[in-house]
Copies of this chain bind each other. A is one copy, B any other.
């Protein structure tokens, strides 16, 4: 899974019907140690994440397992809101 930060929303009225009602959020990938920002992408929110929150994102076919129906064209889902990332120096 990827650690990222929610930085915005995407609005698309003309879209696949099966995506209706889904919250499409823009997420910027974070490097866990340096925190420096990397590429951004769009994920479907499954846990009520808000802008600015650090989140856990699952990608690929596994992302669909967080949906009520896994047969939808979604390749990234927000599956957790992160409380803490504990990285040990000697780790």
Contacts and interface: CB of A to CB of B under 8 A. Distances in A.
A82 B8 CA distance: 14
Interface of A: 1-3, 5-16, 18-19, 24, 26, 28, 31-33, 39-43, 46-48, 51-52, 56, 58-66, 70-77, 79-88, 90-91
A17 to B, nearest CB: 10
A24 B58 CA distance: 12
A84 B3 contact: no
A42 B7 contact: no
A7 B24 contact: no
A73 B82 contact: no
21 contacts: A3-B26, A3-B41, A3-B42, A7-B32, A7-B88, A8-B85, A8-B86, A10-B82, A10-B86, A11-B83, A11-B86, A12-B83, A26-B32, A31-B40, A52-B88, A58-B73, A58-B75, A60-B61, A62-B63, A62-B72, A65-B74
